[in-house]
Copies of this chain bind each other. A is one copy, B any other.
Amino acid sequence: MASLDNLKPLSSLTLVDRVELRIKDYIKENRLTVGDAIPKEMEFAEALGVSRTVVREALLRLRAIGMVDSKKHRGMVLTQPDLIANLGKVLDSNMLSKDTLKEIFELRLILEMGMADFLFARITDTDFEALERIVAEEQTQNQDATVFAMELEVAFHGTLYGISKNETLYRFQDMLLPVFRYVHETMLPDLYPYDYSGDAFVSHADLLDLLKKGDPEKFRQGMRRHLEPHFERVLQTFDK
C-alpha cells in the first residue's frame, strides 16, 4: 500500500465533498489501480485531520459509484467502475427534465446514424443470420406495412448495435431505449400518419440488403431514410 505522507490536513473547514476529492487525488497520485487496497477509514481520518464519520461518508459515495468495495480481510479495495451502470442509476429515476429527455431521444438517433463504419468492419455470418431471422419474422407478421411491430423494431436495431462489437455503445443505447420510447410515445405526437409503404421508405429488409451489398456511405443514406419519421417529428416538434 502506498504511503499516506502526501495527504495533508485540510486547512479550512471540512466537508465530505472535500474529503472525497482528496481521497480521489490520493488514488491518482499514488497511481493505485483496480484491485489495490486503500488505507483504512481511520488512517484517512488521521491523515486528513477529520472525523471518521466524514471519511466514512466520502467512502460511501465512492462505493455508490462503484469505485471502491469492501473485501473481507482486505478492507477497501479499488474496483472497476461501471460507466454505463452509473448512468443507469440516474436514468432510472424518472426525474430527468423535459429538455434532457428530448436530448436523449436525439442522441440515440445520432448513434444510429454514426455507427455504419463499425458495422461493415465487424459484421459476422452469425450477425447476418440474426438479422435475416428478424426480417423474416416481420414479413410473416406484417401483411399491413403500416403496422409498427415494436418488438421486432427493437430487436432489429438492438442487433445492429451489437454488430458494432462495442459493448459500451451497446449498453449505452440499450439504457437510452426506455427514454427513447417514452419520448416517442408521450412527447412526440404523430403529426400525420407516416407512409411506411411509400417508395422513399427504407425498411429493415432494405437495410439488411445494404449491409450485404452496400458500403457504409450507402448504409447511412438508407438509415437516414429509415429514420425519417423520427427525424421529421423531432425537428418539427422540438424546433418549432
Using CB atoms and an 8 Å cutoff, list the residues of chain A in contact with chain B: 24, 27-28, 33-34, 57, 60-61, 63-67, 78, 80-83, 86-87, 89-97, 99-100, 103-104, 106-107, 109-118, 121-122, 164, 166-169, 172, 216-217, 220-221, 224, 231, 235, 239
Nearest-neighbour CB distance to chain B for A119, whole angstroms, equals: 11
CB distance from A237 to the nearest CB of B (A): 12
Name the contact of A95 in the complex, choosing from B33, B91, B95, B168 (C-beta under 8 A). Answer: B33
CB distance from A220 to the nearest CB of B (A): 6
Complex contact A169–B95 (CB within 8 A) = no
Which B residues are CB-close (under 8 A) to A95? 33-34, 67, 78, 80-81
Contact A114 to B111, CB < 8 A, known contacts A86-B90, A92-B24: yes
Bound together, the chains give a CA A66 to CA B120 distance in angstroms of 40
CB proximity of A111 to chain B, nearest CB, Å: 6
Copies of this protein in the assembly total 2
Which residue of chain B has its CB nearest to the CB of A108?
B114
Q: Which residue of B lies closest to A121 (CB)?
A: B235
State the CA gap A101–B166 with chains docked (Å): 11
Are B121 and A239 closer than 8 Å at their CB atoms? yes
Q: List chain B residues, Cβ under 8 A from A122.
A: 239
